[in-house]
Each structure stands twice: as C-alpha cells, then as structure tokens.
Amino acid sequence: MKILFVSDSYYPHINGVYYFVCRLGPLLQEKGHEVAVIASSESMYSSQKKIDGLDVYGLPSLPGLIYPDFRMPSRLLLKSRINRIIQSFKPDIIHIQDHFLLGKVVIKVNKDLKIPIIGTNHFIPENFSAFVSGENLKKRFENLLWKDFSRVYNQVNLVTTPTEFGAKLIRPRLKVDVKAISSGISLEKFNPLGDTHEIREKYAIPDKPVLLYVGRLDPEKHIEEILKSVALAVKKIDFCLVVVGKGTSKTALEKLTHQLGITDKVIFTGFVPDEELPYFYKLSRCFMIASIAELLSLVTLQAMASGLPVIAVNAGSLSELVKDKMNGYLYKEGDIAAIVQHIEDIIVRDDLYRKMSEKSLEFVQQHDIYKTLESFENLYQTYRL
C-alpha cells in the first residue's frame, strides 16, 4: 500500500505532527508499505530528501513570523506542484495532518483523483490564540480558526484525533466520523532504565531530586505557574527544576526565575537532541505540566513511560492520562498551594512515589506505538482505493 502524509509544518520545525509522522511512517515501511511526505521545504526552492528514512517532497516556503524554523508554503504554482507529486507517487491513501494550506490544496487537487483522504487533527485554537491580546478578540479569532477547520475536514473520509477529549471537541463541528487513536509512544526508547551520569554532568544537574518540565516555552504552556510553585516549594524541601525546551517565552521565564530568587534552583537546558531526551526523564523524580491546551501531550506519555509520577493541570486531555492520586495529581489551574503540596508529597514520600511510578508504567501501555500502528494500518486498509 502507498501512503502519502501531508503537513504544512515538518522538520526542522519539531512539533507533534513531525513526531507523529516520523515515528509512524518508518514502522509502516517496515511492514512493507511505501510512505512519502509532502511538506514545506527548508527554503524557497523545492526539494526531495530522505528524512527519518522517508521520502519528503518539500515545497517552496517562507520563514514563519513567530518561529524562524517554522516554514509557510508559498502559494506560487502550489496546485500544479502538488498534482505532479501525487500523480507520480500514486498513493492508495492520503493522510493529511492539518487543515492549513497544503491540506486545502491537496483536497482541491483530489477532487478529480478521488483518492481516499484521512485527516488527523493535532490542532487546538489555544495554541494560536495565546498570542492574541483581549478576550473578545481571542474568542473571535478562535471561532474563525474553528470555522476554517470544519470547512476543510468536512471534505475528508474520516477524521482521527489522539484522545477522546479531542474527539468530543470536534465531533459537533464535523459531519464526518471521528475516531480517537493515540499518537503512540515508543516504550523501547522511553523507560526507567539507563545511566544518567553523563547527562547530569553535561547540564550541571545537581545530585538531588529533580522536578522536570519538557516542551515548548510559550505562553499557553503556563510555565510561570510551575516557577511560582517551585519558589514556594524549595523553602520546604531541597530539589531543583529542570526545564527542557525552547520557545518565545524563554527570556521572560528566565527573568521571572531571577525575580523569584530561584536562579540557583532552576536549570534551563534549551533544546536537547532526541538521543539525550530519555535520560532527563530517567534522572527525574517527578514531571509537571501546566499547559491548558493539550490534545494528547506526548511529553506526559514519555514521563509516564519512564515511570514518573505526573503533576498536571486538570485541563484538556491531561485528565485522560493522569488519574488523580493514582499515577500523579491533577490540580485546578492557578492553585499554587495545591501544586506545592503535591511536589512535596512526591519528593518526600518514597512509598507514594513508588506507587505512582508503577501506575504510570501500567497506564502508558495503552499508548504503545505498535498499537497505534495497527489501528492506522487497519484504517488504511478499510479506506484504500
């Protein structure tokens, strides 16, 4: 079977879409399928590269305004370029990853070709509206984003999304069927085992309990909530916060850390290579996420697969991953006092840590990437030409 993935954003812009395709695509190829990707190129020129073992057809693009490594496809000759790629590759099924420009044009081109299209939704408006000031303007902007989403995804055969939370969010907006399928995680790569000495030494992480955050440093992630909680918690117990990732809020967060007087308790690593990432989870005692706009949260799954208890805001899909008082704690947005108590409990109480660690390892099994592979392979077989 020939499968064509389509996404506006792709490598080197590292996000949930890229991770989904770069993990699922090679596994499909191992099963004997042929996989290709249409995405924005890394320049104003077309390209064809092997990325993660997949043939990636890059279409001319411009740099994004907020993220320099996020590329926006150029509209010039876009329809004819996409038509040429599809006619050459001859996919049995097309799998679009978003409802932006490339997805729209692929659907237009496909009106005559009539190849089955599955759409996966990784989108939530808050990821974009966090940069908009004023509640009224924000709501209007979000409504426009949803209307555009519905207009595009109502033209595909089936829509998938990583969680039941995401499915409930979009079902009322669509006429086509919606199915919840986890994006999956490699349980071979993320696990509690491994020597963390080199990573501790490289990033100057002290030999004390670590509270970990991994992800983009952007407004909707609410990392300031974590910092304010740490500032109070370190007055009671000794630990450090390690923040892994990059983003638009990094400078502001470093400034807040200084204002709170906890610069000696917080380590900002910046971006870390994929091969190093699992070791940050392995050396940590607890993972925390304060983002209110998560359709799945791969980093939370990575933490669970590494045996970490998770402290998470009770918002979005996080309540599907974190069961309160079982594999971690859920807290109400803004409840700093509760966060401080949760941090203290997990770091101080070994019995609680072990119990929650075991539950994280148990609950994450349903998100095994091989179960995701089987689900999508079955879908492709059902809808293929």
Q: What is the mean pLDDT of residues 211-219?
A: 95
For the chain, which residues make up each domain, given as ranges? 2-184+368-383, 197-367
CATH topology of domain 197-367: Rossmann fold (3.40.50)
Does residue 385 carry a pLDDT above 90? Answer: no
Query: Do 2-184+368-383 and 197-367 agree at the fold level?
Result: yes
Tell whether the model's pLDDT for residue 249 goes beyond 90: yes
User: Do 308 and 358 form a contact (C-beta atoms < 8 A)?
Assistant: no
Model confidence at 279, pLDDT cuts 50, 70, 90, reads very high
What pLDDT, on the 0 to 100 scale, is given for residue 372?
98
Cβ atoms of 100 and 75 closer than 8 Å: no
Q: What is the CA radius of gyration of the chain?
A: 21
How much is the pLDDT for 70?
Answer: 76
Q: Judge whether residue 67 has pLDDT over 70.
A: no
Global pTM exceeds 0.75 = yes
Q: What is the mean pLDDT of residues 189-200?
A: 96
Q: What pLDDT was estimated at residue 130? A: 64
Return the pLDDT at 103. 96
| Chain segment 356-382, per-residue pLDDT in tens | 999 999 999 999 999 999 999 999 999
- Residue range 327-339: average pLDDT? 97
pLDDT band at 293 (very low <50, low <70, confident <90, very high): confident
Average pLDDT in the 282-292 region? 97
* Whole-number pLDDT of residue 113: 94
Domain 2-184+368-383 classification at class level: alpha beta
Sheet (strand 210-214) strand order: 266-270, 240-244, 210-214, 286-289, 310-313, 328-331
State residue 296's pLDDT score: 92
Residue 348: predicted pLDDT: 98
Once rounded to an integer, what is the mean pLDDT over residues 190-216? 97
Give the mean pLDDT of the chain: 94
pLDDT > 70: percent of the chain? 98
- Which of the four pLDDT bands, split at 50, 70 and 90, describes residue 66? low
SS (H, E, C) the chain: CEEEEEECCCCCCCCHHHHHHHHHHHHHHHCCCEEEEEEECCCCCCEEEEECCEEEEEECEEECCCCCCCEEECCCCHHHHHHHHHHHHCCCEEEECCCCHHHHHHHHHHHHHCCCEEEECCCCCHHHHCCCCCHHHHHHHHHHHHHHHHHHHCCCCEEEECCHHHHHHHHHHCCCCEEECCCCECCCCCCCCCCCHHHHHHCCCCCCCEEEEECCCCHHHCHHHHHHHHHHHCCCCCCEEEEECCCCCHHHHHHHHHHCCCCCCEEEEECCCCCCHHHHHHCCCEEEECCCCCCCCHHHHHHHHCCCCEEEECCCCHHHHCCECCCEEEECCCCHHHHHHHHHHHHHCHHHHHHHHHHHHHHHHHHEHHHHHHHHHHHHHHHCC
